[in-house]
Structure formats: C-alpha cells, structure tokens
Structure 1
Amino acid sequence: MEIRQIRRYTLTRYPIELISHKLIKREVNIQDTIIISGTPRGGTTWFMELLETLPKYKSIFEPLNKKWFSPVKKLNLPPRPYLEANAENDQLKKYLNLVFTGRIVSKAPRFSMNLRSIKKHIFATKILVKFIRANRPLPWIVNNFEIRATYFLLRHPCATIASQLETGTRGYFMPKFAPIPKEMVLKEAQQIPIIRNNEWLMKKLNTITTQEEILAAIWSIDNYVPLSYLSSHQNAWYTGVYEKLITDFDEEIKKVFGYIGEEVPEEVYERFKKPSTTTHDRSHLGTPKQLLKWKKKLSECQIKNMLKVVHWFGLDFYTEAPEPDYGSIKDWKS
C-alpha cells in the first residue's frame, strides 16, 4: 500500500510542481515566506499542514534533502549543517533564496493530490517551507533572510526518539535502521563552538554508547543550538511546543496564527485530529493519550539513558512526565 501511494504521488505532484514552476509565472515575495524548523519525527509535518490552510500558501517539503532537491548536492552540506549566525556562505544563501521565493522544484514523495490541493498548489503565491535539518543553522537563516515568520517546534525527546527507532527516520542520508556511529555525533559536536568549548559536556558525550544515547545527543544538539541563540535573541522566532498543542489546541493554535496576525482558518480544526502524511502510529491522535505512547515503546533503561544525555545539555525541562515544564522552556538560558 505504501509503495503504491508513493508511486501515485510521483505521477501527480512532480508534474504539478513543474507546471507551477514553468508555466504559471508568479512573483513570490520572500517577505511572505514562512518557515518551520524542528527535529525528525518531531511533529513538523503536522504543524506544516495546519499552517498550510492559510490562503495562497503552498508548502516546500525538506529543501535540504539532497535526494529530492538536486541542487543541494552541489552545496556539499552534511546531513545536519551548522553555521554561526554571522557566517558567510554565498552558495547556501543563493540556494535558500530560490527556495524561499518558490523558484525550486521538489521531487519529495509526500502524498497524492486531490483537485483542490492541485489547484491551490498551482496558483499559490506564497511559500511555506518545512525543515528537519535546519535547527542548527536556524540563527544564520533568520539573520540572512527577511521573511514573514519562523516557527521552531519542540517535542519530547523520548517521544521523538521512540518514533525514530520505530520508523528508522533520523534525518541522516543512510539506510533506515542502520546504527548511527558515535563518531559522527562527536564530529558534529566539535564543529559547534558552544559545545566544543564545553570540556565537561564533550567528556560526557564521549561516554555515549547505545543508539538511544546517540539519538538523544543528536536531539539535544539540534535543540541546544537554536535555544541558546533564542536566550539572547528573544524575538528571533516563535517557539511552539508539540505537547501544548495537543493538550490545549484551541488556545495554542490562536497564538500560532496570531503570531503572524491571522485568524485561525476553520479548516485547521478539521485537520487537528487528522494524521499527517508521515504519521505511522495513528492511535489516540489528537488526544492527551497520544503523549503517553512512547512510555509503552521504550524500556525504563532507554528512557533513563535518553534523559541523562538531554540533561547534560541543561535541557531538563523534559523529564519522564509526558509534558515539559513550559515555564522553564520560556525562561531557559544556556
């Protein structure tokens, strides 16, 4: 079934992308562009589909995926690139300018399209871009592009990693379920000054051995970098928390759309309990029970190992509780 869905999508979405790109010439103002950034299996696709209800917007899905966007290969980027906020990178800047102005064609195998979504996609004049590989360069992105808004999405590390272990999706260009080498994570950490210069933290990272510890280190780096920047640049973007959206959707979604001065479209409420196109486990969708599923998928040892690593980074607003300490997220300082 899954293979047929991908084939159907390949036969429909890609030609629609080409028609929209080559035949329907429309100016896209980068100042209308919205981006969403988060971790693999962190709820970003669902969040994107909520925001995609905005009139005149179409989504661009994972433009740093070199399998779906051939120009990325020429950039010679690692799977999770890092750039300091004031760094120079003209090639990446030129490429993302194409993305943020809709001048790029995607081969991302997401879903088949109905007539309504085809029409909206062809005639869209505004762009919504979703990333799972942009957390680390997020400060650089917001420093280099004048876009409408940036949303940064957090989700419980245990829930995120449980889903990664179950689906094999980790945001790396390697076979699904293949173990990620510890050396890869240490090399990435060495490239980030705020981590590299923390001798105690680097010594701790050298002790990780299990896959859950390695994935917890990756989750922590992915979130530590943008949170550290946010602690001194409080208005850089909107920080959304997946758990809060689930438990208090009506209030939180008003804040999400209010951030860009928009009323909540009625279609959003229809989509709240609808699984995203990348959801595998569809039980308890849109209910607080959804936040407990990871407790059944992980052993006590795995949970302990993950949280131990996460807490090394000072990200202790997540514990064994299904929801984080929301106040601590808001007040967090690196």
Structure 2
Amino acid sequence: MVEIIKSFPLLVNKKGEDLIWNLLQFLIKKKSTYKTIIISGDPRGGTTWLSDIVSEINNSSLIWEPLMLGYNNEFKRIDFDYRQYIPENKNWEEAKLLFRKTFEGKSLSSNLCNRNTFNELIKADRIIVKFCRANQLLPWLRKNFQFEYDPIYIVRHPCAVVASQLRQGGWDRISPDFKIPDCKFQEFYSTHSKFLQNINSKEKRLAAYWCLVNRIPLSHPKNNKDWITITYEDLLLDGENQLSRIEKRWNLKLPASSYEKLNKVSTTTLKSSPINELEKTDQLNQWKNYLSEKQIQDILSVLKYFNINVYDYDSMPKVRFL
C-alpha cells in the first residue's frame, strides 16, 4: 500500500502524502479499542519478531511504532517525549485521545502502516500495535483502556539490547552524556538526576534508558497480571510453551503460522548479524563476544543502581514468568 500511495502524482512532498492518508482514513471503519493487541518492549528487544508472530492472527492489522515521534506528528504536537512516562493515576486527556485514535485505526501514515496492504486495513477487525517506547506506559494504558487480550510485554537482557543497538548503527551519533529532557512528569528522570548526570558512555546511557522504562512494569505489583510478561530468552529457547501461555491468557488458539515464525529471524535483523547462523543458545551469549568486559560491567552497574535483579552476568534471566 505504501508503494501505491507514493506513486500518486500529488505526492511531491510530505504534506501531499499526509493528505492522502487523511482521506483514506474515512474509508477504513473504526476499530474496537477493546480488541486492540499491544506488544511492548525495547528497541532491539524482540518486538518485531513477536509482532511478526502475533500478526498472523486472522483479520488483524499491524500499526508500527506510533510513539516514534519522527513518524507521528500528532504525539509530537502535545509535547510527548520519546520515552514519555505517565503515572497510572494521572490524567492526560490529550494523550488518551491520541492513543484511542491509534487503537481505533484512525491515525494512519506510510510509516505506521508499512506492514499492511490497504485491503488488510479495510478488512481488519483488530489492530495490533507494536511499541518499543511504551514499557513505562503499560500501567497507565491498562488503567485507561479495557482490552479483550492482555498486552504482551517482552523484556530482553540489557547487555543484549545495548549490544544490538550499538551494532545496528541507529545509535551511532548519540552523545555519551545523559541529558534529562524537558517533559511532563519529569520526576521520572529527576528522581535519578544525580546518577544520570554522571553517565559518561554510550552503553551506560543506553542501559539507563533500559532501566528507566523497564523498572516500571517489572516492579509493578500487577506485573504479569495486567499484561503478559515474556522474556526474549524464553521465547527463543522455549517458544512453543511461551505461545501456549499467550493462548491460555487470551483464550485464543494462535494459527500454525505463528508457531512457524518462532524459528524465523525478525524482519529487522541485520543480514550481517551472526544470529542468522548461530544456534539458539549461542545467540543468547553473543553480546559477551561483542561487548568488552568493561562495557558489560558498566551496564550491570547501572542495573545495580536501579535495583533491577532480573538479569546479571548470566545470559538467562534470574526470574521465570509463568
């Protein structure tokens, strides 16, 4: 669909493309927010792989990263931050309206819909939303929206996440310093300002973001209750049982094609990645080959500060979610 839209003569610039998408939204019936499926994790944390698996559900349509502000001006207009936090008992009506619009399939663009055909969007009765910047929002989202199926929260070893981010290249230009953003509910950062202002390396900065956003769902009393918590490591080594967990929570049988995708790398895996050739157990240890010992210890020191005990030097999580 994206290719077709970009072929319109009118689309000589971004404004023209946005106009076409606004017109197309009138042709697509409003979806039920209740039927929305949320997949949440970290950048390079397994969300693409998991969304590839879940989007095999019939009559579903995938919305891709609505909180990637460069792709979605609507959230940008309300001063949403890249890792925006909203305390679960706080009201932010503008944000709630935008999330509702997203869940209803009424916030569309080439970037958000790059995994769909137009026919799929028309026929879909369920929206699947893939987030890699919403972990810290899970309690607030559950407080403000009712979902037929509990969201899935996938968490991956921070050393593996940071190693993949550094290897992928998208974080090459980031500063080693941690600059606290000027955003709503700034206590999310300011509580830790002294620690964050002393960060002086890319890997520690990336690890700090991992800790900031994951400590919210991991420490929440309803973790793995209001959402389904799955570790990347268990999905890789014990995928069928993890999909069975999802089926039981959802009371839904996933299609056979979902199970087939357990053994396929995600569509965003680099072609040069050693994951394409390694055995599964070797994949989990790959970050130890990419990161130096100092980098590993620096990352683990950030986890220690935030008192996150799910992961340590071992490649497997210390906690199993059942």
Bin of the TM-score, shorter chain as denominator length: 0.7 to 0.9
User: Which residue in 1 is equivalent to 2:280?
Assistant: 287
CA distance in 2 between partners of 1:188 and 1:95 (Å): 17
Q: Which residue of 1 aligns with 2:62?
A: 59
Q: Is the 8 A contact 1:44 1:130 kept in 2?
A: yes
Mapped to 2, the partners of 1:22 and 1:61 lie a distance apart of 20
Q: Does 1:226 align with 2:217?
A: yes
- From 86, 89, 93, the equivalent of 1:90 is 93
Structure 1 residues not aligned, in runs of 5+: 1-6, 170-175
Q: 3-state SS of the aligned residue for 1:153? A: strand
Could you say what secondary structure the match of 1:71 adopts?
helix
- Structure-2 residue corresponding to 1:3: none
Normalising by the residue count of structure 2, what TM-score does the alignment of the two structures yield?
A: 0.85
CA RMSD of aligned residues (A): 3.0
Match of 1:31 in 2: 34
Match of 2:26 in 1: 22
Cα gap change, 1:147/1:295 in structure 2, threshold over 3 Å: closer, same or farther? same
Pair 1:263 & 2:266 matched = no
**Is 268-277 or 14-23 further displaced after alignment?**
14-23
Q: Which runs of 5+ in 2 are unaligned?
A: 8-16
Look up the match of 1:79: 82
CA offset at residue 204 of structure 1? Answer: 4.0
- Residue 80 of structure 2 aligns to a residue whose secondary structure is coil
Report the AA paired with residue 126 of structure 2. K
Aligned equivalent of 1:278: 268
Corresponding residue to 1:320 among 272, 297, 313: 313
| Equivalent residue letter for 1:249 | G
Match of 2:10 in 1: none
Q: Find the counterpart in structure 2 of residue 310 from structure 1.
A: 303
Counterpart of 1:317 in structure 2: which amino acid? V
Q: How far did 1:143 drift?
A: 0.8
Output the amino acid matched with 2:265. P
Conserved 8 A contact 2:62-2:113 = no
The equivalent of 2:228 in structure 1 is 238
Q: What do the CA deviations read for 1:271-308 (whole angstroms, capped 9, x no partner)?
A: 12222221112424772222122111111111111011
Cα distance in 2 between the residues matched to 1:90 and 1:219: 27
State the TM-score, normalizing by the size of structure 1. Answer: 0.82
Larger displacement relative to structure 2 (158-167 or 233-242): 233-242
Deviates most, 268-277 or 293-302 = 268-277
Shift of residue 66 of structure 1?
Answer: 2.4
CA contact (8 A) 2:176 2:201 kept: no
Give the whole-Å Cα distance in 2 for the aligned partners of 1:109 and 1:232: 30
Matched, 1:128 2:128: yes
Q: Contact 1:9 / 1:110 at 8 angstroms: preserved in 2? A: no
